[in-house]
């Protein structure tokens, strides 16, 4: 398998009985995270996954209420399917049209803001997120005006490893447009689908949305859905600026991820099963560094359970401490250590964020 390729989403695991015990006490958990951050001496790398955004109301792939659990037949679209099949493309865009509004209006949760606070205090230097929802950027204060000049230049210390749903790219000429504008165009071209979406909203019926913005839609034909070609070259296929399963990461993303690992002393894994090799390989690389420490906050079994030094959460898909609860307390204790006043922006971050449980 080529390095950086997103492959079939399964977790290769060893014998669960050999897994180390997880930390379930909040005070112990907080002390472990603080120790890792202190030992990292300002060179801590964090890697976040879909579990990080669950408290924002965005469903993860795995876990008790994940897409693979509530819909046993679900699997994401693969890159070759998108390229080779018109029916797959219109199915993808129709489901994305219905699912994207959930991602667009999602707000950062307590955990996102806690990570932002730890970055601003200098405890986490760089963040690599596998998420495509851009909530880490919202939390840290990157301007979210879709027409702002700096919209396509996100925070320099945050790498979106798998891209972002906020852009749409032409596969032929490379022209890039804003996803919100493309959503409006799809509404114009598909008035019956817009009426359907408006009806769902008016009756308060939210479609179940996956982390990639794909809506779980049953018993509806996609044949009538219209997807335009690129407005610039007129022939190119349009694809969200995310890395599909079966698609290799961009050269730029791989190189920057490698650089972030080379610069890091310690690693903190947040809400990720590390199923995709593109992220798992980064853990393997840092593990080879002498004196490095790797900690994890995650609910559920992960691919890296045998590589990490400690784990907060659970090996099961339910129960255990989550990112929001632990990271907020970590941030508050470190802010108190720095004697930050209540009016300090970091304190405001640590008291911000939604907690939106999934149905």
pLDDT digits (tens, 9 = 90+) for 141-158: 865 544 443 444 579 999
Give the C-alpha distances (Å, rounded to integers) separating 198 from 95, 102, 190.
Answer: 15, 13, 12
Tell me whether residue 323 is annotated as binding.
no
Question: Catalytic residue at 162?
Answer: yes
Across 56-65, 216-225, 253-262, least confident range: 56-65
Q: How many CB atoms lie within 10 A of CB 309?
A: 15
Catalytic residue chosen out of the listed positions 162, 175, 315, 351: 162
Q: Are residues 291 and 321 in the same domain?
A: yes
Residue 358 domain flag: no
pLDDT at 48 over 60: yes
Residues 211 and 223 in one domain: yes
Domain hosting residue 270, numbered range: 1-8+15-58+111-162+249-353
In a domain, 123, yes or no: yes
Contact criterion met (CB below 8 Å) for 215 and 207: yes
Q: Does pTM top 0.85 for this prediction?
A: yes
pLDDT tens, position by position, 235-259: 999 999 999 999 999 999 999 999 9
| 338 and 227, same domain (yes or no) | no
In this structure, the answer to whether residues 148 and 135 fall within a common structural domain is yes
53 within some domain: yes
Query: Which of 209, 242, 275 lies at the terminal end of a domain, its last residue?
Result: 242
The model's pLDDT over 162-194, given as tens digits with 9 standing for 90+, comes to 999 999 999 999 999 999 999 999 999 999 999
pLDDT at 70 (0 to 100): 45
Residue 64 within a domain: no
pLDDT at 203: 83
Task: pLDDT band for 267, please (50, 70, 90 cuts).
Answer: very high
Q: What is the pLDDT of residues 301-325, one digit of tens each?
A: 999 999 999 999 998 877 899 999 9
Claim to verify: residue 229 and residue 253 sit in the same structural domain: no
Q: DSSP letter at 23?
A: B
Task: Assess contact for 241 and 161: CB atoms under 8 A.
Answer: no
pLDDT of residue 316: 84
Q: Are residues 344 and 274 in the same domain?
A: yes
**Alpha carbon of residue 292 to chain centroid:** 25
Q: In what order do the strands lie in the sheet with 163-170?
A: 176-178, 163-170, 238-242
Report CA 177 to chain centroid distance, whole Å. Answer: 21
Note whether 87 and 136 are same-domain residues: no
Judged against a pLDDT cut of 90, whether residue 200 lies above it is answered with no
Task: Report the C-alpha gap between 78 and 100 in whole angstroms.
Answer: 18
* 172 plus 262 within the same structural domain: no
63, 341 contact by CB (below 8 A): no
Residues 218 and 345 in one domain: no
Within the chain, where are the H helices?
Answer: 26-40, 67-70, 79-84, 86-105, 110-120, 135-140, 179-189, 191-202, 251-263, 277-287, 323-337, 345-350
- Count of structural domains within the chain: 2
Residue 192 lies in a domain: yes
Residue 359 lies in a domain: no
Question: At 313, which CATH number?
Answer: 3.40.50.1220
DSSP β-bridge partners for residue 304: none
Tell whether 42 is covered by a domain. yes
Q: Tell me if 230 is assigned to a ligand binding site.
A: yes
């Amino acid at each position: 398998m080529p390095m950086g390729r997103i492959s079939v989403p399964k977790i290769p695991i060893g014998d669960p009985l050999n897994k180390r015990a997880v930390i379930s006490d909040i005070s112990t958990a907080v002390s472990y995270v603080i120790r890792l951050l202190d030992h990292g001496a300002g060179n801590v790398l964090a890697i976040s996954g879909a579990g990080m955004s669950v408290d924002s109301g965005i469903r993860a792939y795995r876990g008790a209420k994940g897409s693979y659990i509530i819909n046993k037949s679900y699997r994401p679209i693969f890159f070759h399917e998108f390229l080779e099949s018109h029916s797959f493309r219109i199915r993808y865009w129709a489901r994305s049209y219905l699912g994207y509004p959930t991602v667009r209006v999602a707000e950062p949760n307590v955990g996102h803001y806690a990570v932002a606070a730890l970055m601003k205090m200098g405890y986490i230097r760089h963040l690599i997120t596998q998420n495509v929802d851009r909530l880490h950027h919202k939390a840290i204060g990157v301007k979210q005006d879709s027409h702002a000049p700096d919209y396509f230049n996100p925070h320099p210390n945050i790498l979106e490893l798998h891209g972002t749903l906020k852009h749409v790219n032409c596969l032929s000429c490379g022209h890039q447009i804003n996803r919100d504008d493309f959503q409006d165009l799809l509404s114009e071209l598909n008035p019956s689908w817009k009426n359907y979406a408006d009806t769902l909203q008016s009756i308060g019926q939210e479609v179940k949305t996956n982390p990639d913005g794909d809506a779980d839609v049953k018993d509806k034909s996609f044949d009538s859905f219209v997807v335009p070609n690129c407005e610039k070259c007129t022939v190119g296929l349009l694809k969200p600026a995310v890395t599909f399963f079966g698609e290799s990461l961009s050269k730029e993303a791989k190189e920057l991820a490698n650089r972030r690992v080379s610069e890091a002393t310690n690693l903190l894994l947040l809400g990720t099963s590390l199923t995709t090799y593109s992220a798992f390989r980064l853990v393997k690389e840092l593990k080879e560094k002498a004196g490095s420490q790797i900690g994890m906050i995650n609910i559920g079994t992960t691919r890296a359970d045998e590589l990490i030094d400690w784990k907060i959460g659970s090996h099961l898909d339910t129960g255990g401490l989550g990112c929001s609860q632990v990271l907020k307390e970590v941030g508050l204790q470190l802010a108190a250590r720095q004697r930050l006043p209540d009016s300090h922006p970091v304190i405001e971050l640590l008291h911000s964020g939604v907690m939106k449980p999934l149905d």
